[in-house]
Amino acid sequence: MVSRLSRIPAIAAILLPSLLVLSACSSSQQVDAAGAAQSYDKTTKEACDAGAAEGELNYWSATDPGDFAKEIAPFQKAYPEIKVNFTSIRPTDATQKIITEIQAGHQLDVDATSTDLPSAQPLFDRGAVVSVDWSKLDIPENLQLDYNGVKIYRTLRDFIGIGYNPDQTPAAEVPSAWDELVDPKFSGQIIVDPRGVYLTGLAVAWGEDKTLNWVKDLKETSKPIVLQGATDSIQKVVSGEAKITTSATTSAINAVKQTGAPIEITYLDVVPSQDKYGVILSGAQHPNAAACFLSWFGGPEGQAQQLAVEYKGNSDKPANLPPNVQLSVADRPDQQEIFTSVGAEISEVLSK
């Protein structure tokens, strides 16, 4: 593992400024000048009352702006005193912008963000994420995560399987295990993403060596179509240009399925997931408004809105999952190292 990790470009260490203070700092927001995570322990009512006084918050996520506006309409109606200023940005880009601002000693122009753990790791390393008592903000316990001492919560979980066209491939002929994809009969009929983002989760369950050997066997035996993006790959399957896409998340398949297109998803013997987490940032100008909003977003109404608009749910596991199927979830720092390492390796294999 060490040799593989050493091949990944190291992110230069950036020291958090010696003094990083939350706006409107109170007894519930502790500042640690050494760079340790700050904390927040207000209740939902306390957060929303204080958030109304702040008047706004700045929130970043990768959601489409139009979709986000639809999702949060109930929040804006319930809390008209809190304006949500939204920026659509990928987690990796968000992290880089935040670190740049911290390094320059500037006031952050973002209060909270929805991110994935690999992208956010540099923020955790720098103590830039607030540790929140999410129970006081009414977030269900199963969504909460203690990530190396910092308390965050999961905003969505999108499961990964394979997508197929039921008009072209009967359900009885669809593989039930990842190893079954390594078969000459699928030559030129399976789509994989060159970034490896939909396959890296296998390594959490299988380990690095088995995963990389499987990808190499798949490439040599099944000669997959290399195509970036879930949407484009799903359309290839819908049109009959390919039989199977491995770039299949529950939300992406359901979004296309809602148009009437012939597409289904099936989960194989290992089910990876793409998880996002809500975090409040140290140095946020509107920490209470951010806490109020994230409390709503992680509650029943916010989660229902996300599912209705983006088809993205937040269940711990897919419904009716067979008992012999293994979930592959990366929610620890050591698992994130595996995730990042294998992703780079898979990309290298597929690019040759």
In tens, the pLDDT along 150-178 reads 999 999 999 999 999 999 999 899 999 99
Q: Topology of 159-274+320-351 in CATH?
A: D-Maltodextrin-Binding Protein; domain 2 (3.40.190)
Interval 62-84 mean pLDDT: 98
Is the model's pLDDT at 244 over the cut of 50? yes
pLDDT (average), residues 6-19:
34
Q: Is residue 282 a contact partner of residue 127, using CB atoms and an 8 Å limit?
A: yes
Whether 85 and 56 have beta carbons less than 8 Å apart is answered as yes
> What is the spatial distance between Cα 323 and Cα 253, in angstroms, rounded to a whole number?
23
Q: What mean pLDDT, rounded, does the chain reach?
A: 90
Angle at 324 between CA 186 and CA 316, to 5 degrees: 100
H-helix segments, 155-298:
202-206, 208-222, 230-238, 250-257, 287-297
Token digits of residue 176: 């039930």
Q: DSSP code of 319? A: T
Per-position b or e across 280-311, b if 16+ CB within 10 A of its CB: bbbbbbbbbbbbbbbbbbbbeebbebbbebbb
Note the Cα 259 to chain centre separation in Å: 25
- The answer on pLDDT for 92 being more than 50 is yes
Beta bridge partners of 302: none
Q: What is the reported pTM?
A: 0.87
* 139 vs 338: which has the higher pLDDT: 139
Assign 15 to helix, strand or coil: coil
Nearest to 269, CA basis, from 327, 184, 189, 346 = 327
Which pLDDT score, from 0 to 100, does residue 341 have? 85
pLDDT score at 336: 82
The residues near 182 (Cβ < 8 Å, ≥ 6 apart) are 214, 217, 218, 221, 222
Give yes or no for residue 2 having a pLDDT over 90: no
**Section 273-296 average pLDDT:** 97
Nearest CA-CA partner of 20 in 120, 140, 105, 84: 105
Tokens of 241: 């240009």
pLDDT at residue 36, as a whole number: 58
User: How far apart are the C-alpha atoms of 292 and 30, rounded to whole Å?
Assistant: 18
What is d(CA 310, CA 1) in angstroms, rounded to the nearest whole number? 37
Please check the confidence at residue 1 and state whether its pLDDT lies above 90.
Answer: no
Mean pLDDT value of segment 287-316 = 98
Enumerate the H helices of 175-207 as residue ranges. Answer: 202-206
Residue linked to tokens 């340790």? 36
Q: Which CATH number fits domain 20-157+275-310: 3.60.10.10, 3.40.190.10, 3.40.640.10, 3.90.1150.10?
A: 3.40.190.10
Alpha carbon distance 342, 15 (integer Å)? 27
Dihedral class, residue 317 (left if φ above 0, else alpha if ψ from -120 to 50, else beta): beta
Phi, psi of 184 (to 5 degrees): -55, -25
CB-count exposure of residue 27 (10 Å: 0-12, 13-18, 19+): exposed
- pLDDT in the model for residue 68: 98
Where does the chain hold its CATH 3.40.190.10 domain(s)? 20-157+275-310, 159-274+320-351
pLDDT at 340: 82
Q: What percent of the chain has pLDDT over 70?
A: 89
Measured at the alpha carbon of residue 290, what is the angle toward residues 285 and 295, in degrees to the nearest 5? 160
The first and second tokens of residue 20, run together, are: 């990083």
Which tokens is 21 given? 């203070």
Share of the chain above pLDDT 90, in %: 83
Q: How far is CA 25 from CA 57, 81, 286, in A?
A: 16, 20, 10
DSSP β-bridge partners for residue 277? 115, 154
